[in-house]
Every structure is written in C-alpha cells, then in structure tokens.
Amino acid sequence: MKQIWAPWRMEYIQMKKTDGCILCEAPRQDSDAANHILYRGDKNFVIMNSYPYNPGHLMIVPYQHIASLEELTDEERHEHFDIVNRSIKVLRQVVNPDGFNLGINIGKAAGAGIDDHIHTHIVPRWQGDSNFMPVIADVRVVPEALDETYRKLRGKF
C-alpha cells in the first residue's frame, strides 16, 4: 500500500460542514484567515481553493449567489474581472509562476464542484509542475500547505 503524508488535511476533514453555500457563508464570517479570504471588493472577493491544483489556486467569487455570468450586473462583472487581473499580478509577484490556467465552470456538466454559485479559478502553473502521480496513482501532490500559501499572499492585494 502506498501512503501520502498530508497531516494538515485532518483539520479540514474534521471541521463542521455547513448545509448552505460555502461561497456565501465564508465572507459572512469574521474569520478571513480561517476561510483563506485574501481580498474583499465591493461586489466580489478572493478566496483560496480548499482543494487546490497548485499552490496559489485562487477563486474570484461574487457575493451574490448566482449560477452564471450573464446574471452578474455590469458593475459586478467589471469588478470581477478587474480582481482577476489584480490576482494574476499578485501571483506573478509572490509565487512567480511560468503561466496560468483561468477557468469558469458553468454547471455540473462543465465540471463545477459548486454549480449554483459562479466563480473564476486562477491556477498558477510552473514548467514541470505535473508529475507521474496523477497518471499512475490518480493522486495530485500539492507541495505547500494552504496556510503557508495564504501567509505569503495575505496583504498583497
């Protein structure tokens, strides 16, 4: 049997799960560090993905609980993509990736894990950041804990 050591996951596994939308609940709480919220705009916020593909995997999320881009107001949409741009600049400065994947999954069929609250993913990428683990063992290795990445990015927005 192969084992992967990831002791920081136990805190997530044991935390109380909410019945509501995590993307609505997180910004309502007064615990940005615990929720890995990096920035709060007027209409959108930046939160780190709890299941990152790579360190620095961010999500830009409107406060309004909507399922698709066309439901955003002009003001929400403009701020949303301004924050996407700002997030890329911050990630370039702090983690210096070789590139980025940007994505919006609209609906379950498109791969949305949370399909009723639209959000934009920003995934920093480095040359050689993928390895044999996803192919051989169907396992993804993220080389840095969320709290460490949060510490690096916090205050940079």
Given phi > 0 = left and psi -120 to 50 = alpha, else beta, which region is 16?
beta
Distance, CA of 24 to CA of 20 (rounded, Å):
8
Distance, CA of 20 to CA of 133 (rounded, Å):
33
Distance, CA of 53 to CA of 49 (rounded, Å):
9
Q: Could you give the residue numbers annotated as active site?
A: 119
- Per DSSP, the three-state class of 108 is helix
